[in-house]
Amino acid sequence: MRSLHQTLAITLAALLLLNSTTSVRACGPYFTEPIFVFENSPDLPFQEFTNGKIGIVLPTFGRKTLVIAYRYLNRGSFTSDKQTELTAALKGKAPEDDGTAVVKAWVKVRKEVLGDDQKLPEIYTERQHGQGYDFFPNCTKNAFEVATETLKDRVTRYGAEDKNVRTWLATQDTVFQNCSRGAQVPNELGAESAAWLRMDREYQIAAAHFYSLNFDEARARFEKIAADADSPWQEVAAYLVARTLVRQASLAGTEELQRAGYERAETYLQTLLGAGDDKSREVVAEVGPIDARG
Amino acid sequence: MKVESRNRFEENRFPSRVLWVWERPEDLGFVDPQQFAVAFLAQTLTLKNDDVVFSPRRQLLKVSPEVKLIAVTRIESQKTTGTPANLSEAQRRKLVDLVLKTLDLKNVSAVQIDFDAVVSERDFYRSLLTDLRQKLPGNIPLSMTALASFCVGDRWLDDLPVDEAVPMIFRMGADERKIKTFLKNGNDFREPLCRRSYGISVDGPIAMNFERRQYIFNVGAWTERDVQQK
């Protein structure tokens, strides 16, 4: 009987000891905390926000969210279809990054080709507006995405050690120097150069003019590329003609010039839309900013 | 005996009143350059991990070329969970470079740093200001804004290489009552650098008898009427 008691006591003590051991977590501790305000996005559901109930707009919201709020604060609105699309867009990625991720991605792929010993060029994406005190985003996210993808593609096709690829990369560095200041335009290439490099160079020259704010020259060059059936940039060049018109209008010195510029851009975009090709559908997205000016 | 540090604002004969101009379109063509200088927000630099995110001014500023301009750099450290600022050497160097670039803006003749540094950021801030002072041209004034509590509490501002620390006597949050009582009782800021200027807001001025340079903040865009009332 005594032995039974001893056995029970030992078993009970063992169970108590085992139960008192807390489970181990890999990370932590975690605490449940109340969230009173979303700092990076509007309140849920997003549909209410895109419908115009924008509530209190915080500067920490993502770019898409702020654009929607800006439209409503300027007494604008969105059609029902656009509201649905915007809600989907907000759900896609919120909050948005601050734009540095694409520049980092470009710097990374550039470094993979050139190695660590190359001094990295300083890239600022904003450019001073004339001689004033305000800046505007000159080289946008898409510019770095396209450059990154193009470099990867050229490296895959011709190899990282290929001298033309190196030339391409050095030229792209020159193009991006114009993002924040200056007007550095790469030289044209002669017929002795590889055809792919020549066509890429034409596009890089047009882009350099665009970022240097030489819009008339940029537009003429994009138009020429848009007419070149052999260029891999043909399709996108037509769209960039529109981008050039929009940018030129947005930076015009007077409201009158701006209005005239936007009208010209709108006419061009409508023509592109009428053409009905694949790229035109993408251009539809660009009509938004022109609507937004009113 | 402590030698009083230089005051380049006095040396350069800056007007005794300065309009603070924040991130909104401003047309200050009416400002009298003899009466007022303008301190405008030129850029916001956000410390995030080991990055410095550069956000320049996006809004138009029109001002007569005769007006003395102070380019203000607002520094913020991102405190989102999981991504605290590293406060690294690289960040300090980049901050210094970007602040120096504001001197390239037309007619800028002084710089001001606006950084509400918490205690753990003070050493970083001190080394930033020291580095900046060394790289600025010798005659360019370097100003910093200061929470009013910096000027009455501990002496961490002491010996900072700045020409002035501007105590902001408005929207003081939790310190409001304490600072107001402190000043109402005839006290003055303990920190000498805080006794060269002070900042007030048009919507909540505190009657001050200081014969010092006065910075004036406006919650809205400046109008000629606002300025005439100052």
Q: What ipTM was assigned to the predicted interfaces of this complex?
A: 0.87
Specify whether A126 is located in the same domain as A205. yes
Specify whether A159 is located in the same domain as A131. yes
Summary mean pLDDT of chain A? 84
Residue A12 lies in a domain: no
Counted domains in chain A: 3
Residue ending a domain, among A210, A234, A269, is A210
Residue A29 lies in a domain: no
- Residues from chain A that touch B57, judged by Cβ atoms under 8 A, are 133-135
| Lowest mean pLDDT, pick from B5-19, B27-41, B160-174 | B160-174
A28 touches B: beta carbon within 8 Å: no
Specify whether A197 is located in the same domain as A121. yes
Residue A25 lies in a domain: no
Residue A26 lies in a domain: no
- Give me the pLDDT at residue A97, please: 65
Residue A7 lies in a domain: no
**Given an 8 Å threshold on Cβ–Cβ distance, is A132 in contact with B60?**
yes
CB B71 within 8 A of CB B109: no
Query: What range does the domain containing A42 cover?
Result: 34-96
- Give me the pLDDT at residue B81, please: 56
- Give me the pLDDT at residue A278, please: 57
Residue A117 lies in a domain: yes
A134 touches B: beta carbon within 8 Å: yes
Q: What is the largest CA-CA distance in chain A?
A: 106
**How far is it, in rounded angstroms, from Cα A226 to Cα A137?**
25
Highest mean pLDDT among A60-74, A88-102, A126-140, A207-221: A207-221
Is it the case that residue B94 has pLDDT exceeding 90?
yes
For residue B122, which of B138, B97, B144 has the smallest C-alpha distance?
B144
Mean pLDDT across A53-79? 89
Mean pLDDT across B33-43? 97
- Give me the pLDDT at residue A177, please: 95
Closest in A100, A124, A126 to B51, CB measured: A100
Rg (CA), chain A: 28
Alpha helices, H only, B156-217: 176-184
pLDDT tens-digit series, residues A147-185: 999 999 999 999 999 999 999 999 999 999 999 999 999
Specify whether A114 is located in the same domain as A197. yes
- Give me the pLDDT at residue B79, please: 67
Band (pLDDT 50/70/90 cuts) for residue A100 is: confident
Domains along chain B with CATH numbers: 8-228 (3.20.20.80)
Specify whether A220 is located in the same domain as A244. yes
Band (pLDDT 50/70/90 cuts) for residue B56 is: very high
Helix, strand, or coil (residue B126): helix
- Residues from chain B that touch A133, judged by Cβ atoms under 8 A, are 40, 42, 57, 60-61, 105-106
- What percent of chain A has pLDDT above 90? 55
Is it the case that residue B186 has pLDDT exceeding 80?
yes
Residue ending a domain, among A48, A69, A96, is A96
User: Which CB contacts under 8 angstroms, 24+ apart, belong to B84-89?
Assistant: B84/B49, B85/B47, B85/B48, B85/B49, B85/B121, B86/B47, B86/B49, B86/B50, B87/B47, B87/B121, B87/B124, B88/B50
Specify whether A190 is located in the same domain as A253. no
B58 touches A: beta carbon within 8 Å: yes
Is it the case that residue A29 has pLDDT exceeding 60?
no
CB A234 within 8 A of CB A225: yes
Q: What is the pTM of this model?
A: 0.79
pLDDT tens-digit series, residues A243-253: 999 999 999 98
- Give me the pLDDT at residue A13, please: 62
Specify whether A198 is located in the same domain as A259. no
Residue A153 lies in a domain: yes
Residue ending a domain, among A72, A96, A120, is A96
Mean pLDDT across A221-238? 95
Specify whether A243 is located in the same domain as A191. no
Query: What token pair was written down for A94?
Result: 């919120």
